[in-house]
Chain A
Amino acid sequence: MNARVLPYVLILPVTLFLCVFFLYPFVLVAQQAFSIGDGFSLANFEQVVSYWKFPISLQNTLLLAAAVVPVQLALSLLMATMVTRMKKGRDLVLYIWTIPLGISDLAAGIIWLAIFESSGFLNSMLHGLGVIDRPESLLTYQNPWIVFLAIALAEIWRATAIMLVILVAGIGLIPKEYYEAAEVFGASPWQRFLRITLPMLRPSLQTALVLRVILAFEIFAVVAALGGTLFPVLMGETYAYQFDLLNSGAAAAMALIILAISIGFTLIILRVLRVPKGASI
């Protein structure tokens, strides 16, 4: 086989596979969302949007993303810069910090449930400190902020690792000479971070943020484990339409709404953090 045809033969399986299981389902989901019976209709969207839970679940999802993603960004930047300065024990620390990468959102939810449930470790600690005498239910509808806090903490705990990995890889690509030059001219560590690390890291920041924000809108199992029905989110409502209400048209409409929000935010991030042409490493 000659070198002209061979690459196409090699990429054919993936391309076919993604056409069948990635592109085609998108056509299907759009079709499902925009039709009732045979004709074109927006009825699914109207139904979904006018449901009383929709504004709450949209608000919850956005609020959670707004609370979680900036903290994760700051935390992962801090961790990444700390680890690059490290000489001894770097591998061990990096392994520990990336452990949550392999932990599913459901398991993360269950882990934080062990802390926040009424006979859990948070209450036990408070009891040990003498703050409370008997276990108090924390994850109830009377305490919406504790539910929110528990979910946000579980998300920060679980999903900072993915940003950390991307940023550590990105920092590794920045040439050492830049830092040496800056040091020669007397730049402080903080100046070096602001003037070299941050601008040079832009492509990695872009990837990390896009990935993280999309995953933030997909939040589902953490919420199911910790908040249940107390804290409706978009993905959970989509699941409910498909299963509890057996309305796949409405579920498809929800899917498209989540998709539209994700694409919107992806475009914003790409625009804000765009890398000038010819300025990459």
Chain B
Amino acid sequence: MTDAVTTDTRADTRKAGRILYVASIVLLCAWVIIPIYFLLINTLSSPETINSFPRSFFPEFDLGSLTFFAGFAGMLSALKNSILVAGMTMVMSILIGAPAGYALSRFEFRGKGLFRMLILLTRAFPLPLLALPLAVMFIRTGLDDTAFGLALVHTTLAVPFAVLITFSLFSGIPIELEEAAWTLGCNRITAFTMVVLPLILPGITASAIFAFVISWNEVFAAAVLTIENRTLTAFLLQNLDTSPLHLKFAGGFILVVPALIFIFAVRKYLFAMWGIANR
């Protein structure tokens, strides 16, 4: 009798714990999603609705705010600049970073510890502040207010990640595969392009996307280094005081969309790369 009661209460507490567990997971998911949903409602509402009160909690699917955004002077060119800078950052950080990642995973060499130190050091500093002295340097070299100049700074932000991610990716491919290719008549370069590269390509794409997102989202350096050729973040920041609400919301939404897609694309690699980066 007493036995039955204790197992009963134990089953009850377990069931209650289970419900609490699921409920908190659902709650935390809602905590992340609902604010984004609110932004979506605002983006798909007409400018009049956004300033009216009280607000509806469902979108009315009006493209007024988005058309206003697209027609706002300088907005589309800012969007184009953002894509251009992020694209350049993506290419540069992989081209520069991937070879170093390969070297770290395949060779023991003097100064390896020092080199890793340099890479990790970059993460312990507020990097966007570097834009301040670089602004002066860029004026001297004619790189000021260009997409390329900003892409160089964003590459500084992204390249340590590129090195660490490619390092973990290359470490996941056994060197025996390469050695087998050498015995079959490949040299270092052909063994790399024919054996390692196809295996590594999805991972490289993921880290390239990560570099894109870093650049796409960066605000401070972009605002400091561009004046005429503003990126989208810099443009929105500059106009925060003066622009109407619906412009802010539409702009914010355009900023969020690629991030959503990209995080989805790289989700498999997020955890692998941080696991290694911890060490």
Contact = CB atoms under 8 A, between A and B. Distances in A.
Q: Do A and B come from one complex?
A: yes
| Interface residues of chain A: helix, strand, loop or mixed (majority) | helix
B147 interface: no
A25 B260 contact: no
A114 B35 contact: yes
Interface of A: 1, 3-4, 6-8, 10-11, 13-15, 17-18, 21-22, 25-26, 28-29, 32, 78-79, 82, 85-86, 91, 93-107, 110-115, 117-121, 123-124, 127-128, 134-135, 157, 165-166, 168-170, 172-173, 203-204, 207, 210-211, 214, 217-218, 220-221, 224-225, 228, 235, 238-239, 242-243, 248, 251-252, 255, 258-259, 262-263, 266
| Interface residues of chain B: helix, strand, loop or mixed (majority) | helix
Interface stretch (B68-76, B200-208, B219-227): B219-227
Interface residues of B, number: 93
A259 B100 CA distance: 27
Interface of B: 21, 24-25, 28-29, 31-33, 35-36, 38-39, 41-42, 50-55, 57, 95-97, 99-100, 102-104, 106-107, 109, 112, 115, 118-119, 122-130, 132-137, 152-153, 155-156, 159, 163, 188, 213, 216-220, 223-224, 233, 236-237, 240-241, 245, 248-249, 251-252, 255-256, 258-260, 262-264, 267, 270-272, 274-275, 277-279
B53 A124 contact: yes
Contacts of A1: 188
Contact of A106 (B95, B128, B236): B236
Nearest to A92: B29
B219 A98 contact: no
Contacts of B129: 29, 218, 238, 255, 258-259
Contacts of A228: 240-241
Nearest to A121: B38
Nearest to A214: B126
Nearest to A119: B53
Nearest to B102: A10
Interface centre among A8, A105, A111 (most CB of B within 10 A): A111
A28 B137 contact: yes
A7 B103 contact: yes
Contacts of B130: 21-22, 25-26, 29
